[in-house]
Amino acid sequence: MGVRSRILATFVVGSLVLSGVLFFFAFTLTRSNLRQREVELGLGDQSIGETLSSLRTSLILATVITVLVGLMLGIVSSERVVQPLVGAANAARAIADGRLDTRLEPTDDPDLNALTDSFNDMVARLQARVERDNRFASDVSHELRSPLMTLAASVEVMVSRRDELPERGQAALDLLVADVARFSGLVEDLLEISRYDAGAVRLTRDDLRVGEFVEQAIRASTLPRSTIQIDPRCATAYLSGDRRRLARVIANLIDNARTHGGGGAAVHVTPADDSAGHVWIAVEDTGEGVTDADIDRIFDRFSRGTGASKRGASEGAGLGLSLVREHVRLHGGRVWVEARRDGNPGARFVVELPCEAQAS
């Protein structure tokens, strides 16, 4: 039984008991009074009966009214008691959704103020902690960026003189080049994530011709020869988007097809099935696909699929798809993974973005 029902039941039962007691005393006292003064007042049995019967009717009516009033008071009181709890539940939900500046309104009720104060205090501490953690990731990435740039520049100099190195030196240099590139990518991803956390991401929007843009992004990716199929209905469609970030989305999905999805990617650009004014950019591969358990999880930060290390792709940090989701969301779109539609094994990552027939 909920708090609301318990309060309501207390009021109804209370008013019922109270009116029952009043009913009993009023009726029995009046009856014995009338009987005692029957002769003195010259009342007959019939008139006493009639008087008692009309008294009973009035008392029953009074009982009904009392219970109804009790019910109404119960509803009002339970609403007043439950209201702050509903407010606290809504605030907790808002905080869980990331709105950390949510607070409970102070009330003039001293009993409730203890709850409000400790709740607000807890949220303030949580907010400070989350902000400190966000700043930490951003500060560390910034600090790492400059030595990393120096390292990359030095490595570049060594690469230009690679032929002068002995064979073992060349092998070591190749490993260094790969690791510096991976490290730079990781630091860039961490910086981008801290910008999202700080709410500091501003899109630099351009009108992009969908087909042309996807083709360019694929040419600049790690699998430039991937197959591209563009539905004629999308060839002239435009989307208003941030060129760098959307190219990153496509590059990340193609990179994943290369490392986790069997090595090849095919990209399909089609109008969205069910939402008009949207385009789908789908990247398909020929790997093992994504298991049901991983379908949502892999879009979380630092989350890698259960089969990732098994497939020998152990070097990824698990940030790529979380950034894809943030970029796409900021463009008013969504991204998900599903099985390939032609029934062949492999994953199909779909990016849905709003688009228009003409440039705005």
Ligand X SMILES: Nc1ncnc2c1ncn2[C@@H]1O[C@H](COP(=O)(O)OP(=O)(O)OP(=O)(O)O)[C@@H](O)[C@H]1O
Q: Which residues form the interface with Mg ion (CB under 5 A)?
A: 256, 320
Could you say which residues in the range 325-344 bind ligand X, by CB under 6 A? none
Q: How many residues bind ligand X (CB under 6 A)?
A: 20
Tokens matching residue 124: 């303030």
Q: Which does 285 bind (CB under 5 to 8 A by kind): Mg ion, ligand X, none?
A: ligand X
CB 321 within 8 A of CB 334: no
Task: Name 285's bridge partners.
Answer: 265
How would you class 177 by CB atoms within 10 Å of its CB: exposed for 0-12, middle for 13-18, buried for 19 or more?
middle
CB 131 within 8 A of CB 139: no
Residue 99, SS3 per DSSP: coil
Cβ proximity to Mg ion: between 211 and 320 the closer is 320
Q: If binding is defined by CB under 6 A, does position 140 make contact with ligand X?
A: no
Single-letter code of the amino acid located at 333: G
Q: If binding is defined by CB under 6 A, does position 246 make contact with ligand X?
A: no
What is the nearest approach in angstroms of ligand X to the Cβ of residue 305? 2
Contact with ligand X (CB under 6 A): which of 123, 279, 281, 319?
Answer: 319
What is the nearest approach in angstroms of ligand X to the Cβ of residue 295? 10
How many beta carbons lie within 10 A of that of residue 303, not counting itself? 16
Q: If binding is defined by CB under 6 A, does position 284 make contact with ligand X?
A: no
Contact with ligand X (CB under 6 A): which of 70, 74, 211, 261?
Answer: 261
DSSP label of 107: -
Q: If binding is defined by CB under 6 A, does position 138 make contact with ligand X?
A: no
Question: Distance (Å, rounded) from C-alpha 208 to C-alpha 228?
Answer: 17
Q: Which does 287 bind (CB under 5 to 8 A by kind): Mg ion, ligand X, none?
A: ligand X
CB 335 within 8 A of CB 349: yes
What is the nearest approach in angstroms of ligand X to the Cβ of residue 131? 24
Biggest CA-to-CA distance, the chain: 137
Q: Is the dihedral of CA 333, 335, 339, 343 positive or negative?
A: positive
Q: If binding is defined by CB under 6 A, does position 187 make contact with ligand X?
A: no
Q: Which does 290 bind (CB under 5 to 8 A by kind): Mg ion, ligand X, none?
A: ligand X
What is the nearest approach in angstroms of ligand X to the Cβ of residue 126? 26
Q: If binding is defined by CB under 6 A, does position 7 make contact with ligand X?
A: no
> Which of 195, 267, 209 shows the shortest CA–CA distance to 239?
209
What is the nearest approach in angstroms of ligand X to the Cβ of residue 281? 14
Q: Which residues bind ligand X (CB under 6 A)?
A: 252, 256-257, 260-261, 285, 287, 290, 298, 304-305, 308, 316-322, 347
